[in-house]
Amino acid sequence: MSLNFEEVRLRLPHIELAAHVYGPEDGRPVIALHGWLDNAASFARLAPLLPGLRIVALDFAGHGHSDHRPPGSSYAIWDYAHDVLQVAEQFGWQRFSLLGHSMGAIVSVLLAAAMPERVERLALIDGLIPYTGEADSSPQKLGEALKAQLALADKSKPVYAEFSRAVEARMRGVGAVSREAAELLAQRGLMPVPGGYTWRTDSSLTLPSPLRLTHAHALAFVGGLQCPTKLLLAQQGMLLAQSSISQLLEGLAIEAVQLPGGHHLHLDDDQGAMLVADCFKAFLGAP
């Protein structure tokens, strides 16, 4: 596995983000977006297998080495879309493609539907629409979120005496991953503290959402996509576990492909990364 990338920090008007940059400066522009509580290392196996592309693999705000949002701010999914657009502005990219995994795929869909003139292609890995909520549940959901915000100050992050303990915890986390994948994510996602290691991620990321898009909202975004879109469904992943995914994809101009592997099939092992790369190379314009 090649780790030939450049570590950069991007000073945006409202926040500073970190990223790994792969490929030649004149390569076709791609912004790669990871999943919830992951980081730019999510693309450590895949990005080197997509030659000829200029891939900027971001650490989302609050993740990895990127800044946290100010206290009291939220991590609404549409705010990530704004961050990505600002990254494209910094690179001077009027047109670019998006490579998104899980939450990063959802952010990609929102941005592509909202700004079709900016997004050339969408390459999605086991992610499409966010968890939704209907209007009648909104008061309850907001109340739960407000109570969780009040309780956040009394919570502390877990501290692992050894790096390996943190790796094992990540293996069992949301979207369980292989040991090698967990090690890659942990190398970028951990920081030393008294007594061992803890995660760099902002604790606010674990708060419940105060407001969710309705199912109708979500359908409007996927139905409004104008660019070519390719979705990889992991056979042991999260999307195929949802009984509604087949019905959702009916009538949409989205090319869906099933591949063996779990939710992090692009990161778990070399074979999975190669399968994903083979599906996306021609689609994203890699030679």
Which residue out of 102, 137, 209, 244 is catalytically annotated?
102
User: Mind listing the pLDDT tens digit of every residue in the chain (287 residues)?
Assistant: 546 899 999 999 999 999 999 999 999 999 999 999 999 999 999 999 999 999 999 999 999 999 999 988 889 999 999 999 999 999 999 999 999 999 999 999 999 999 999 999 999 999 999 999 999 999 999 999 999 999 998 888 999 999 999 999 999 987 789 999 999 999 999 999 999 999 999 999 999 999 999 999 999 999 999 999 999 999 999 999 887 898 889 889 899 999 999 999 999 999 999 999 999 999 999 77
Given a contact cutoff of 8 angstroms between Cβ atoms, the answer to whether 129 and 144 are in contact is no
Distance CA 10, CA 190 (A): 21
CB count in 10 Å sphere of residue 62 = 20
Note the pLDDT of residue 3: 60
Does the annotation count 102 as an active-site position?
yes
H or E segment to which residue 59 belongs: none
Cα–Cα dist 121/108, whole Å: 10
Separation CA 174–CA 162 (nearest Å)? 21
How high is the pLDDT of residue 246? 87
Residue whose pair of structure tokens reads 């490929």 in the numeric block: 23
Q: Measured between alpha carbons, how far is residue 276 from residues 16, 43, 166 in Å?
A: 30, 11, 27
What's the CA angle centered on 18, arms 12 and 19, to 5 degrees? 115
Please name the fold of domain 6-135+208-284: Rossmann fold (3.40.50)
Residues 6+ apart with CB under 8 A from 22: 4, 5, 6, 43, 47, 48, 50, 53, 54, 55, 57
In this predicted model, what pLDDT tens digit does every residue of 159-185 receive, in sequence order? 999 999 999 999 998 778 999 999 999
